[in-house]
Structure 1
Amino acid sequence: MNESKIKLTKLEKYWILYDVGNSAFILLVSTIIPIYFKNIAMSNGISAANSTAYWSYAISISTLVVAILGPILGTLADTKGYKKPLFILFLMLGVLGCAALSLPFSWIAFLTVFVFAKVGISGSFIFYDSMLSDITTDDKMDYLSSLGYAWGYIGSCIPFTISLILILFADKLNISTTFATSIAFILNSAWWFIITIPLLRNYNQIHYIEVKKHAMMKAFKRLWDVFKDIKNQKEIFTYLLAFFFYIDGVYTIIEMATSYGKDVGIGDNDLLLALLLTQVVAFPFAIIFGRLSKKFKTKNLINVCIIGYFLIALFALQLDKTWEFWFLAVCVAIFQGGIQAFSRSYFAKIIPKEKSSEYFGLYDIFGKGASFIGALLMGISTQISGNSKTGVAFIGVMFIIGFIVFQRAVKIGSTKN
């Protein structure tokens, strides 16, 4: 299909809008929130290394919660009439959690509220990603998935830029930096919710399993059947294993970039502006990768992205200058949208559509499990060595393992087909 002739339906556009909405919070998680937390923690006598470790542990806890709940909720969501309500539940947990971060908490309470907000957004992705098979067709999945990330990157820049102006020019506005940051949290939560309204009003579940009663009990039984059956679906299982390893590095880099940059001496303003640049650069490259999916096989594009991220991890090991962080931010932007979009669409195409939420629940286990381990390794290695660079070395190894296992998954898939 020629991408120039692709016309998106209204529902496909509304689905993309959720990426635009939630990306505002995701950008906060990788920029303003960790800086704000580290400043609170360090003002209470906590060292830079320990504050990075505590931030890592908070991310690990939130991802572990979703990894445990994901497959259960995903399986339940495949039941007729359940996907949208569950999506709304986790959406509101994330939105309200983001807004609640504006309250004057201690550093421990702030981390606790952050965990709830992070569980909300991560849980919503289980249902949002699985909507892909209801929203579009197989031949448009790569392109639509890429567009979601692309518009998410550039769209999130709107509330983020306003937030950044408030924080950087707080003195000139005669408000404190703390108050400016509180306004930013409320602004981004409102943006997230309002942008999502069109999807909430128009989405209807098409692929589902009909269950007239005892939906929860039957969901557990279906989940057990999926776990038993997954060992016989070698392509899906091997792909999930590969995804676990390589996405570990991706998520950890996204979530820990600001803390890592601050530890190696990058100033707050440079951190925020460099990561804003990441969003701007990621927008055209996500679209470029979407178009490349019409000319090259998805597996080859995933390979390119994994290799790109491995080289990024190697470069980060010696990072100690501001310009290097800016350069790293651009490099991350080039591959970030592609690897996330193609991972999502590749998986959506190899699983049974009527069980999409069940399988995306498993997808979330492997993705969130990877994020949990990556952040945990980063935290532990940083506390033991007193240097964040030790954790980056672990990330590089994960990319190597992920690349090797992915080749095996592709081979199994080609043999089956």
Structure 2
Amino acid sequence: MGFLKKFTKQEISWMMYDWANSAHSVIVVTILPIFFDTVAGYTADSVSSMSTWGFATSLAMAIVALSAPFLGVFGDIRGMRKKLFTAFMLIGVVSVAGLSLTPFMDFTASPEAAGRVAAMVLVLYITSTIGFDASCIYYDAFLTDVTTEDRMDSVSTLGYGLGYIGGSTIPLLIFLIMNAVGVPMLTCLGFIFGLTAVWWLVFSVPLLKNCEQTSGKPYKKGDVGASIKNVFTTMKEIGADKPMLIYIISYFFYIDGVHTIISISTSYGTNLGLDSAGMLLALLLVQVLGLPFCLLYMKLAEKFGARTMVGVGICVYMFICVFAFFMNSLWQFWMLAVLCATSQGGIQALSRSMFGKLIPDKARSGEFFGFFDIFGKFSSIMGPALVGFVSAFTANKMLADQGLTAATATAEQVDAINAAAGPFGILSVILIIIVGAVLYFGVLPKVMTNDERKI
């Protein structure tokens, strides 16, 4: 990895957390929904696992989003950022370790047994997501500690790139090889969830060892109460800062498309009846292509600016929503995977570094990234919930049009209706991306008033 030579030890150690937590992103976010869909099929109410998964994702994001600003301000107390990062990282790791036990539970014995296992999967998924997202608040805030403003685009983008080639690719490849050589699927799932927990923990060590909080203020009596009050002060500052306010609202909408497509892709493919192994191979392709496309985004951002390249990513994701609506075969899922690979890492990485540059006081980066995170997470509530609502509404209408209900329809009829309703849920995501695009391209000031905050 010669391209790492120009980066410092602290920058590389920071990037390695993307390598560590990306195992959660691909294994838990994309493979777990397939397992949950299988378990849900044995429960008494198996009409739409896609809808249930969407609502569970929204609940996890809501918990993090509502607490994010307060978590962020506590991270600005000198010495607290790493402690809080460690605590939430461990919550995520332990939850994923718990998921490794669920494939070995007998969920086929009865609908009640399946319901218990499904509930356990959802609870562990929610807590692992809380650990993942809350740790990322402090991880993002460390960006201003480990590098300089002129290097943020490169460091942030390469972090995502390393995540793709490492944590996203290697565990998924191991899972596919185990499956290909004949290891029983449930054994593969149990092993890969356990490996994900170990991977996440081990590769978090470089950040814990080499990265220190250089900003923030020493703790004094009364700082906890003052920090909570600062949340509302920061809220007022963001409201009075036009570039930051417009950017963060725009981000709220356009990143929704990115997060929703990531979290719902395999559940959507399963609803359409696509082959699970084929979908996972397509997702492996996304991870393999992730690093080169992140490097391409990094180079193009150096030439054209991060702002332009984020705009390119927004356009790509609007097209993805339309393409997904018409998708009905595995080869089209592969095409969708390639489209996602072109911009998935680049748009997230450059959005993060753009916001880092807009922060007026780097000593309060935790506070500001807490608000950045709340906008990102609330968008992640809206997207899956919208997909779940539109899919369920459309499915129920289709049942009613045929004079059926969930109780009277056969399993084959339910599967067919879910497959027909799913595309409308995916297409609905384009509406909120369009709102973000209008704000980003039409309202966000072209030139910032502060030369230090050019994006």
Q: Which residue of 2 aligns with 1:401?
A: 435
Q: Which residue of 1 aligns with 2:288?
A: 280
Indicate the residue corresponding to 1:26 in structure 2. Answer: 25
Kindly state the Cα deviation for residue 211 of structure 1 after the two structures are TM-superposed: 3.3
Matched, 1:133 2:144: yes
Three-state SS of the structure 1 residue aligned to 2:303 is coil
| 1:257 alignment partner, SS class | helix
Q: Distance in 2 between matches of 1:214 and 1:161?
A: 50
For 1:287-344, what per-residue CA distance to the aligned partner results, in whole angstroms no more than 9, with x for missing partners? 1111112111111111111001101111111000111000000000001011001100
* C-alpha displacement of 1:258: 0.3
Q: Distance in 2 between matches of 1:125 and 1:112?
A: 20
Superposed, 1:37-48 pairs within 5 Å as: 37-47=36-46
Specify the code of the residue in structure 1 equivalent to 2:59.
I
Matches within 5 A, 1:327-366: 327-351=335-359, 352-366=361-375
Could you say if the C-alpha distance between residues 374 and 5 of structure 1 is closer, same or farther in structure 2, counting changes exceeding 3 Å? closer
What is the alpha-carbon distance in structure 2 between the residues aligned to residue 293 and residue 366 of structure 1?
24
Q: Could you say which residue in structure 1 is the equivalent of 2:58?
A: 60
CA shift, 1:50, in A, is: 1.4
The offset of 1:71, in angstroms, is 0.4
Shift of 1:404: 1.2
| Matched-pair contact (CA < 8 Å) for 2:390–2:428 | no
Distance 1:213 1:269 in 2: 56
Normalised by the size of structure 1, how large is the TM-score? 0.95
Note the alpha carbon deviations across 1:238-297, whole angstroms, 9 max, x for none.
111000000011000000000011111211111111111111111100011111121111
1:303 pairs with 2:303: no
Q: Given residue 83 of structure 2, which amino acid in structure 1 is its aligned partner? A: P
Residue matched to 1:389: 423
How many pairs does the alignment contain? 410
Which residue of structure 2 lines up, in the alignment, with residue 372 of structure 1?
381
d(CA) in 1 for partners of 2:349, 2:148: 15
Residue in 2 that maps onto 1:145: 156
Matched, 1:264 2:255: no
Q: Distance in 2 between matches of 1:4 and 1:295?
A: 18
Instruction: Find the aligned partners of 2:98 and 2:14 in 1 and give their Cα distance.
Output: 26
**Distance in 2 (alpha carbons) for counterparts of 1:59 and 1:4:** 36
Work out the CA distance in 2 between the residues paired with 1:409 and 1:90.
36
* Contact 2:257/2:433 (8 A) holds in 1: yes
CA deviation after TM superposition for structure 1 residue 368, in Å:
0.2
Q: Give yes or no for the alignment of 1:219 onto 2:253.
A: no
Structure 1 contact 31–271 (Cα < 8 Å) conserved: no
State the AA in 2 paired with 1:62: A
61, 83, 86: which one aligns with 1:85: 83
**Are the aligned partners of 2:54 and 2:388 in contact in 1 as well (CA < 8 Å)?**
yes
Which residue does 1:197 correspond to in 2?
A: 205
Partners of 1:251 and 1:304 in 2: CA distance: 17
| Aligned-residue offset at 1:17 | 0.7
Q: 2:206 and 2:4 mapped to 1: Cα distance?
A: 25
Give the Cα separation in 1 of the matches to 2:336 and 2:156.
24
Q: Distance in 2 between matches of 1:412 and 1:180?
A: 51
Instruction: Tell me the distance in 2 between the aligned counterparts of 1:263 and 1:39.
Output: 11
Q: State the Cα deviation string for residues 120-176 of structure 1 (Å, max 9, x = none).
A: 00111100011100010111110111100111001021122112222343xx34xx3
Q: Tell me if structure 2 keeps the 8 A contact 1:24–1:188.
A: yes
What SS is found at the alignment partner of 1:8? coil
Comparing 296-305 with 400-409, which one deviates more in the overlay? 400-409
Q: For residues 412 and 71 of structure 1, do their structure 2 counterparts lie closer, same or farther at Cα, with a shift above 3 Å needed?
A: farther
Q: Which residue matches 1:162? A: 174
Q: In 1, distance between residues paired with 2:45 and 2:165?
A: 35
For the 8 Å contact 1:40–1:107, the answer to whether it is kept is yes
Given that 2:76 and 2:366 are in contact with CA atoms closer than 8 Å, whether structure 1 keeps it comes out as yes
**Which residue of 107, 110, 129 corresponds with 1:118?**
129
- What are the superposed Cα offsets for residues 73-112 of structure 1, whole Å, 9 maximum, x if unpaired? 1011011111000000110011111110012361011101
Distance 1:217 1:255 in 2: 36
Matched, 1:35 2:25: no
**Does the 8 A contact of 2:27 with 2:171 survive in 1?**
no
Distance of 2:281 and 2:384 partners within structure 1:
24
Distance in 1 separating the partners of 2:127 and 2:310 = 31
**Paired residue for 2:401?**
none
Aligned CA RMSD, in angstroms, stands at 1.7
